[in-house]
Each structure stands twice: as C-alpha cells, then as structure tokens.
Amino acid sequence: MLAETLKDGMMSQRDRDFVEVAVSTTSGLFPASGTDRVPVNQKVRVQLDKAARELRLADTAGWIATAGNPPQGINPDRSYEENGLSGTVEISWGPEHGGGG
C-alpha cells in the first residue's frame, strides 16, 4: 500500500516534469495526431521549429503562438513552465491578421 502510494507520488511528480504538446499551424498539426511529450522546462520554440521542419513552413517570421481558452499569447523563447503552461498544451501558431479597415 505504502509502496503504491509512493509510486503514485513519483509518477505524479514525473508527470509534472513534462507537458503533452500539439501544435496547429496554417498547414496542419504537429504531430499529425496526438501529442508529443516534452520537458516542461524546454523552450516552446523547440517544438515550433520541429513543426516548421515537418510541415515545411517556408517563413514563420512574425508568427504568433497562442495557447489556452481564451487564447493567450505565449513567448516561444521561454519554457512551458515560464509561460504558465502544464498538462496538455495546444498551441496555435500562425500569422496575425492585417485588417484593411
């Protein structure tokens, strides 16, 4: 019993060390289905760069990454933890609109 409780505690701590990440872009999802498990202290940009390579995104300069509901802007050069993100993280990434008025 005690062993199981300790094991559950360790699993929870291990889970808190990671996030499950999906990135949706103008060309589709990365990964194509499900999520990638990445360290919570990893910079968001690492996963965005992987998405850009996998989905062959030609130029992502100026693109905005958001997460949460309602969507909030996140800083790709900070980690998930530093952006206040945990658990399953769904990132939308793309160009910002340019209305003509």
Partner 1 sequence: MHELASRELFEAQTVGFTPEFAARRGWVLHAVEYPVLDVSFTSPSRTPLRVRFRCDDWNGKPPSIEVLREDGTPHASPWPPNGNPSGVFHQGPHPTTDRPFICMRGSREYHSHSSHAGDLWDNHRSHPDNTLGGLLHQIWRAWLKGSD
* Residue 20 interacts with partner 1 (CB under 8 A): yes or no: no
Considering the complex, what minimum distance in angstroms separates the CB of residue 40 from partner 1? 20
Q: How far apart are CA 45 and CA 25, in angstroms?
A: 14
Q: How far apart are CA 36 and CA 22, in angstroms?
A: 7
Q: How far apart are CA 27 and CA 50, in angstroms?
A: 13
Structure tokens at 90: 């769904």
* From 1-9, 40-48, 66-74, 76-84, span contacting partner 1 (CB under 8 A): 66-74
In the block, residue with structure tokens 């340019």: 98
* From 10-18, 20-28, 39-47, 75-83, span contacting partner 1 (CB under 8 A): 20-28
Query: 52, 62, 45: which is closest to 27 by C-alpha?
Result: 52
* Residue 68 interacts with partner 1 (CB under 8 A): yes or no: no
Name which position in 18, 42, 55, 86 contacts partner 1 (CB under 8 A).
55
* Residue 95 interacts with partner 1 (CB under 8 A): yes or no: yes
Name which position in 9, 71, 84, 87 contacts partner 1 (CB under 8 A).
71
